[in-house]
């Protein structure tokens, strides 16, 4: 059974660092494009944060470019996201996603077709 299980959320201070994990079961992380989306608290709008192709190429959303790193541990079958330094606007629910369909230059769009989603992990940013 395919499952994406995020962890690592919680309350983090502004200016600090955040590391999220996505434990994948049901397929190897090397098999699909994978990424992270987020929704601001109280919003239904999805924002693409970062994504990685099967060849390891990475892309980032404008709001986190230069502060975020997406990576995979193939042996552990885990996807990671690190953001530092954190800003207040980084608060939200972060979702691990996999199996993208569409033009790669549209990966971040709110309507982008990612076929697998985790349940999400909430991140709050405190002063």
* CB distance 22 to 9 below 8 Å: no
Question: Cα–Cα distance between 54 and 80 in angstroms, integer?
Answer: 15
| CA nearest to 37, candidates 113, 93, 88 | 93
Checking DSSP bridges between strand 3-7 and strand 10-13, what pairing results, if any? unpaired
Percent of the chain with pLDDT over 90: 87
Two tokens, residue 85: 């330094």
Q: Considering only 11-20, 45-54, 101-110, which range has the smallest mean pLDDT? A: 101-110
CA dist 74 and 124 (Å) reads 29
Which pLDDT belongs to residue 84? 98
**Inter-residue contact 114 to 52 (CB < 8 Å):** no
Residue 112 has pLDDT above 90, yes or no: no
CB–CB of 112/95 below 8 Å?
no
């Amino acid at each position: 059974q395919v499952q994406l299980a995020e962890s690592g959320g919680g309350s983090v201070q502004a200016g600090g660092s955040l590391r999220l994990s996505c434990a994948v079961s049901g397929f190897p992380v090397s098999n699909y494009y994978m990424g992270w989306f987020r929704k601001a608290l109280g919003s239904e709008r999805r924002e693409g944060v970062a994504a990685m192709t099967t060849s390891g190429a990475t892309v980032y959303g404008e709001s986190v470019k230069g502060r975020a790193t997406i990576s995979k541990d193939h042996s552990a079958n885990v996807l990671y996201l690190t953001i530092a330094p954190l800003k207040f606007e980084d608060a939200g629910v972060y979702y691990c996603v996999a199996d993208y369909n569409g033009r790669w230059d549209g990966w971040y769009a709110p309507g982008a077709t990612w076929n697998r989603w985790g349940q999400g992990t909430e991140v709050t940013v405190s002063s």
